[in-house]
Amino acid sequence: MPLFWLLLTLLAYLGSRWLYRRSGRYLLSPLILVPVLLLAVAIPLHTAYAEYARNTHWLMGVLGPVTVAFAVPIWQQRALLARHWPALLTGMVVGSSASIASSWGLAHLLALDTATSLSLVPRSITTPFAMPLAQDLGGVPELTAVFVMFTGVLGALFGGVLLRWLPLRTPLARGALFGVGAHGAGVSRAQEVGSEEGSVAGLVMVLTGLLNLCAAPLLALLL
């Protein structure tokens, strides 16, 4: 059945989205449940990635138009950006540098191979930006997508705990924590904390992705 994997992917996605909306349980969110379900079917069947991707890879092509759509939140939040750009820009530059340095440094410390280490470097930015960045750096874009997913899952969990421990008085800092640290999954968490935190996180997520992608030639020289 040629369209089996495409249909299963769509069904798993729609089912998990419905379940998550009804239950609100984090473990049932599509970010976790869909890959787990698909792997649970594919691994016993000894499916190779090429076989899975044959009829599903075009879905990844839609990530390009998603990048274009990011112009809407940037434009809508331009007043926020105009007012607070020094704090947000400093946070994004320092946060991204910390992300790249700690991913690369820890990967070397734990003796991971070069392709894996390079694929870890873009892990804290949103997937539509992280995959082309991995390509530019000589990593594996698909592996980067996996690392980005784990970053989102862990970041959304850590963020709530950190908010209790860190002395953050401004919604700007609380939003930036989620936007720079945990991209899309973080933005959803930030929206639960507050609407201002959510807007900041969404704006910062997109701008951090852009910033990292623009820094790609520099990073390629450094790494």
Partner 1 sequence: MNTALLKKTLRLLAEMAVIGALFLLGGKLAAWLGWPIPGGVMGLALLLLLFACGVLKPAMLQLGAGWLMAEMLLFFIPALMSLLDYGALVRDEGWRILLVIALSTLVVMVVTALTVEWVCRWSLHREP
Q: How far is the CB of 2 from partner 1 (least distance, A)?
A: 15
Q: How far is the CB of 209 from partner 1 (least distance, A)?
A: 9
Binding flag, residue 146, partner 1 (CB under 8 A): yes
Q: How far is the CB of 168 from partner 1 (least distance, A)?
A: 5
Binding flag, residue 125, partner 1 (CB under 8 A): no
Per CB under 8 A, the list member of 3, 7, 11, 59 interacting with partner 1 is 59
Applying the rule CB under 8 A, the residues between 153 and 192 that interact with partner 1 are 154-155, 158-159, 162, 166-170, 172-174, 176-178, 180-182, 184
Binding flag, residue 201, partner 1 (CB under 8 A): no
The total number of residues written for the chain in this structure? 223
Q: How far is the CB of 177 from partner 1 (least distance, A)?
A: 4
The answer to whether 151 and 159 are in contact (CB under 8 A) is no
Binding flag, residue 143, partner 1 (CB under 8 A): yes
d(CA 122, CA 112): 16
Applying the rule CB under 8 A, the residues between 9 and 48 that interact with partner 1 are 9-10, 13, 30-31, 34-35, 38-39, 42-43, 47-48
d(CA 212, CA 130): 8
Distances (CA, A) of 128 to 66, 69, 101, 184, 185: 7, 11, 21, 11, 14
Q: How far is the CB of 109 from partner 1 (least distance, A)?
A: 9
**Residues near 159 by beta carbon (within 8 Å), at least 6 away in sequence:** 177, 178, 181, 182, 186, 189, 190
Distances (CA, A) of 182 to 46, 204, 210: 32, 11, 15
Binding flag, residue 199, partner 1 (CB under 8 A): no
Q: Which residue bears the tokens 């904390």?
A: 193
Applying the rule CB under 8 A, the residues between 60 and 119 that interact with partner 1 are 60-76, 84, 86-88, 90-92, 94-95, 98-99, 102-103, 106-107, 110-113, 116
Q: How far apart are the first and last CA of the chain?
A: 44
Distances (CA, A) of 106 to 15, 91, 112, 124, 223: 37, 22, 9, 14, 14
Total residues binding partner 1 (CB under 8 A)? 102
Q: How far is the CB of 199 from partner 1 (least distance, A)?
A: 14
DSSP 142: H
Considering beta carbons, is residue 28 or 141 the nearer one to partner 1?
Answer: 141
* Amino acid occupying residue 4: F
Q: Is 47 helix (H, G, I), strand (E, B) or coil?
A: coil
Considering beta carbons, is residue 18 or 49 the nearer one to partner 1?
Answer: 49
